[in-house]
Amino acid sequence: MSAPIFPTMTAADMIRRQIRRRHGGFTLIEVLISVFVFAVALLGLAALQITARKASFESAQRSLASAAAQDLLERMRLNTNALGSYVADIDSSSTFSTTLDCSASANRASCDRRDAWLTLSGAAETTGSGENQTQVGGLANPTLCVTSSNAGGSGQYTVTIVWRGRDPSLPEEGSDNATDTCGEGNYGEGNEYRRIFRLSTYICKESTTAGGCV
């Protein structure tokens, strides 16, 4: 009896063939899908890194503004005889003397305003030297505003610091930040790039004769 032209396959042969097919490697479509999924994951990771860096930059700017505002208010508490001299708006157009004797009480307010501006503008953090020296710290295009309900006497004193953010972001309509005029018009047509930090406190100017706050 002659052998059949098409040999019959046993169940074991079929199992072995299926195993070989499973271990035969990836098809081109499978490779393309894997590459696409991997590329999407990388794009998402890159976007997350950019967002994290922006948030870190904004946080560092706000921390600097907070420290500068707190420092200035503390200096004002130590120099209540010249409280009225602190009430002013200071920006890049302001000029300060570098030869003032800051140990003299008459010059203390001017020195305090100057030091606050140097901190905000990053004058203490530089790179390079000579003509190539550049400031690397500070806020981007800062403005410092000091206001009071009773300039020169006891009352509520507010230090407002504004600077330019990287992305447009408008404050909530009707909020204090939306109605604040510090640096208005210097941070976009609608102040959409303006970032604001505000710190208020009551400062008592003690009477030298009767005592109490005047």
Question: What percentage of the chain exceeds 90 in pLDDT?
Answer: 50
The dihedrals phi and psi of 188, each to the nearest 5 degrees, come to 100, 160
**Tally of domains within the chain:** 1
Give 70-87 pLDDT, tens digit per residue: 999 999 999 999 999 999
pLDDT of 34 > 70? The answer is yes
- Please check whether residue 8 lies inside any domain of the structure: no
Question: What is the predicted pLDDT for the residue at 201?
Answer: 96
Question: What is the predicted pLDDT for the residue at 77?
Answer: 95
- Please check whether residue 41 lies inside any domain of the structure: yes
Q: How far apart are CA 204 and CA 187, in angstroms?
A: 34
- Please check whether residue 1 lies inside any domain of the structure: no
Range of the domain at 95: 28-123+135-203
Q: How far apart are CA 143 and CA 181, in angstroms?
A: 11
Average pLDDT over residues 164-190: 91
Give 111-151 pLDDT, tens digit per residue: 999 999 999 999 877 777 777 777 778 999 999 999 999 99
The dihedrals phi and psi of 149, each to the nearest 5 degrees, come to -80, -15
- Please check whether residue 199 lies inside any domain of the structure: yes
Which residue in this structure is represented by tokens 């035969």? 24
- Please check whether residue 111 lies inside any domain of the structure: yes
- Please check whether residue 21 lies inside any domain of the structure: no
Tokens of 162: 């504004």
Q: 54, 167 in Cβ contact below 8 A?
A: yes
Other residues' Cβ atoms within 10 Å of the Cβ of residue 62? 16
Q: 139, 121 in Cβ contact below 8 A?
A: yes
- Please check whether residue 2 lies inside any domain of the structure: no
